[in-house]
A = this chain, B = another copy of it.
């Protein structure tokens, strides 16, 4: 089984962190193909960055699907472009926020999502509501740039721990979800430190992808995720014309 893991930002070092977490989670018969987008922002912080990363990630998923991948994971906690990718692709596509919450819901009633930038607070709260977890989730923001997670001298890690501690002490949460793909390497250590489950979405999504493929399940092509109607795309989006035609 080959699972494509797309880092929809253009920072290759973050793809390394993501790929390592994906491989650690994957089963022995799964190959992880981790790719970095070359179209869009260097990190994804809020609605604007999100939107501009979508064509790049769709392109990568289209290529991955053609190359025979069995499923795809979008490794950004905002689940950027997830619905569009599901409509486009025949293979299953997973989001790391949705997958993390789905596993967290099986082991805890109330959950804190700890994220980086203030711009991400409400997009993540909206996701929790959309996934039916609005009343069970508390979002806490560490106030750090996404890329600071890669810099050990940034103090980012201390800020994260402060927010986890606060959530445990004041919000009655029972588990922690890491609200950024760039934190994927921290789950194990933080779980040890805090003594509660700490869930990384990259690993969670890889397992959901494996599950769907193993069970012979793919995205429904009826209704909201029906294949795109064939039509002309213009400008820098022209390459997608072919795909829409093929999708019929």
Contact = CB atoms under 8 A, between A and B. Distances in A.
Interface of A: 10, 25, 27-29, 37-43, 45-56, 58, 81, 83-84, 86-88, 92, 94, 98-99, 102-103, 105-110, 117-119, 121-123, 126, 129-135, 145, 168, 172-175, 188, 191, 195-197, 199-200, 203-204, 207-208, 210-212, 214-220, 222-226, 228-229, 231-237, 240, 244
Nearest to A51: B84
Contacts of A237: 39-41, 52-53, 55-56
A48 B218 CA distance: 17
Number of copies: 6
Given A40-B235, A92-B106, A207-B214, A51 B55 contact: yes
B121 A47 contact: no
B107 A219 contact: yes
Contacts of A172: 121-122, 223
Given A197-B220, A235-B39, A103 B48 contact: no
22 contacts: A25-B215, A38-B235, A39-B237, A41-B233, A41-B237, A47-B87, A48-B228, A49-B229, A51-B54, A51-B84, A52-B58, A52-B237, A53-B237, A54-B54, A92-B106, A107-B217, A107-B219, A118-B226, A129-B135, A175-B220, A196-B222, A203-B215
A221 to B, nearest CB: 8
Given A48-B87, A133-B132, A223-B121, A107 B218 contact: yes
Contact of A103 (B58, B217, B228, B232): B217
A164 to B, nearest CB: 13
Contact of A43 (B131, B216, B231): B231
A43 to B, nearest CB: 6
B88 A105 contact: no
